[in-house]
Copies of this chain bind each other. A is one copy, B any other.
Amino acid sequence: MVATLQLQMNQNLFLRDPQETDLGRKIIRQSVIMIDQIGFEGFTFKKLAKEISSTEASVYRYFENKHKLLVYLIAWYWNWLEYKIDYNTNNIDDPFKKLDIALKLLTEKKKKDPLFPDIDEEALSRIVISESDKTYLTKQVDEDNQVGLFRGFKSLCKKVADIIKEINPEFNYPHALVSTVLQAANQQIFYSMHLPSLTELNAKQKKLDEQNFEFLRTIVIKAIT
């Protein structure tokens, strides 16, 4: 018997908490699978409702629109990552070690986490790579930010930036560097798979995640020391 956890999600991310009902959990589980497969543009509430034997209108009771659902999923992912970093850097003092652990967790190939049986983290991590920028690259970014929809990403950014400040309190750009690196971690994987002339990381070679780790670690360490 394994315990399961629930990540605390901001109330403004949903109309009705999808973690509290059967239908809600189905919406989350199936939307991760479908957005991964057909992409966010191709994904609709109608298609989703069909797959889970419900109706479009019922899905709308949980999420205002499909954009908000995406924001929810991406926020869940960042919360999950931050939880893992907290868990794995607990009791570690050396900030260099903490940085390495954070970068390792950030870049490692994700696999299903039994603590959260409703979410396929492998599929979700692919969604983060392809779709996460779309959560804030909109005209409503300021409203969405105001009600805290991007707290997950900002909190993670602060966490890693704080490690960097421990290593070098003189460095002028801890947050800028970390936000750049968090983005680059996903971008470089996307490039290596689809636009390979933009990166030396090679998706055809083994251990793409480790290549990514080495690249990002080089950038960060050189920048701050």
Contacts and interface: CB of A to CB of B under 8 A. Distances in A.
Interface of A: 38-39, 41-42, 130-131, 133-134, 136-139, 141-142, 145, 150, 153-154, 157-158, 172-177, 179-180, 183-184, 187-188, 190-191, 194-195, 197-201, 215, 218-219, 222-223
A219 B136 CA distance: 25
Point out which of A39, A173, A190 has the most chain B C-beta atoms below 10 A from its C-beta: A173
A138 B133 CA distance: 12
A197 B218 contact: no
A219 B180 contact: yes
B194 A184 contact: no
A8 to B, nearest CB: 19
Number of copies of chain A assembled together: 2
A136 B215 contact: no
20 contacts: A38-B139, A39-B138, A42-B139, A136-B194, A137-B190, A145-B194, A145-B195, A172-B215, A173-B200, A174-B200, A175-B197, A175-B199, A176-B191, A176-B199, A176-B200, A176-B215, A179-B199, A180-B188, A183-B183, A219-B219
